[in-house]
């Protein structure tokens, strides 16, 4: 089976306001932030309200994300997570099928 080379991938998307509000609420919830903190060694993070759709790996997008988001990948003060599928379902987001969210580490954590 030959590999399919993707030259261009449209990563743009628009969420309905109600779906975005529901998703943001879930991503900011205290229980989720506590779970995230536990997985990140007790560090505290805040959701910066940035989402993106993962893209195929190419020479132009070696991190699997739109180029404008790579600066967050390189910065230790940020983490990028896959939005949990159950959050997508609860927010009634079916297209795109996957999203990533960006969180910033609060400065009081070293």
Is 89 domain-assigned? yes
> Tens of pLDDT along 52-101?
999 887 777 778 888 889 999 989 999 999 999 999 999 999 989 999 99
Is 64 domain-assigned? yes
Q: Is pLDDT of 26 > 90? A: yes
CB of 104 closer than 8 Å to CB of 78 = yes
By the 10 Å C-beta count (0-12 exposed, 13-18 middle, 19+ buried), 54 is classed as buried
Is 8 domain-assigned? no
pTM of the model: 0.83
Is 4 domain-assigned? no
Is 11 domain-assigned? no
Is 12 domain-assigned? no
Q: Is pLDDT of 109 > 70? A: no
Domain hosting 89: range is 17-105
Predicted confidence at residue 108, as pLDDT, reads 63
Query: How many domains are there within the chain?
Result: 1
Q: Each residue of 68-92: b (16+ CB within 10 Å) or e?
A: ebeebeeeeebbbbebeeebbeebe
């Amino acid at each position: 089976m030959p590999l399919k080379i993707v030259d261009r991938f449209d990563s743009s998307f628009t969420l309905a306001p109600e779906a975005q509000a529901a998703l943001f609420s879930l991503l900011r919830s205290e229980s989720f932030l506590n779970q995230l903190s536990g997985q990140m060694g007790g560090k505290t993070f805040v959701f910066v309200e940035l989402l993106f759709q993962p893209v195929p790996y190419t020479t132009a997008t070696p991190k699997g994300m739109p180029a404008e988001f790579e600066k967050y990948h390189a910065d230790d003060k940020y983490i990028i997570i896959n939005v949990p599928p159950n959050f997508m379902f609860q927010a009634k987001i079916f297209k795109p099928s996957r999203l990533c969210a960006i969180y910033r580490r609060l400065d009081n954590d070293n």
